[in-house]
Amino acid sequence: MRKLLRLTALATFLALASAAMAQGNAPIDKAYEDGKAAEISSVKLRLATQPAVTAIQELNEAEDTLRRLKEAKASEQRRKIAAELEMAITRLKMAAGGQ
């Protein structure tokens, strides 16, 4: 139980750090979207060879969030969605069995 709590705390910290970086001066552009799509695809490939039932919901959420990011136009809205995407990808990686 303690190990799970530590992992959850670490994941939360990493997600918040990633979200803070995403909200910094880094542009949320096509290259950013492509990089995140590649991260999701990498985890999806891992799930194809080593299925993790709980990761399917996280995968769907990450893909949906990426889709919303691609559709968003306003800069502030894109930054908010990018932060959500960072957290969704972190949760996906954890559910898939590691980072």
- Measured distance CA(93)–CA(55) in Å, rounded: 8
For the segment 30-74, what is each residue's pLDDT rounded down to a tens digit?
Answer: 999 999 999 999 999 988 888 888 889 999 999 999 999 999 999
For the chain, what percentages of helix, strand and coil (3-state, to nearest 5) are there? Answer: 80, 0, 20
- Measured distance CA(67)–CA(85) in Å, rounded: 10
| Domain encompassing residue 88 | 2-95
Count of structural domains, the chain = 1
Two structure tokens written together for 83: 């932060």
| Amino acid 50: pLDDT | 83
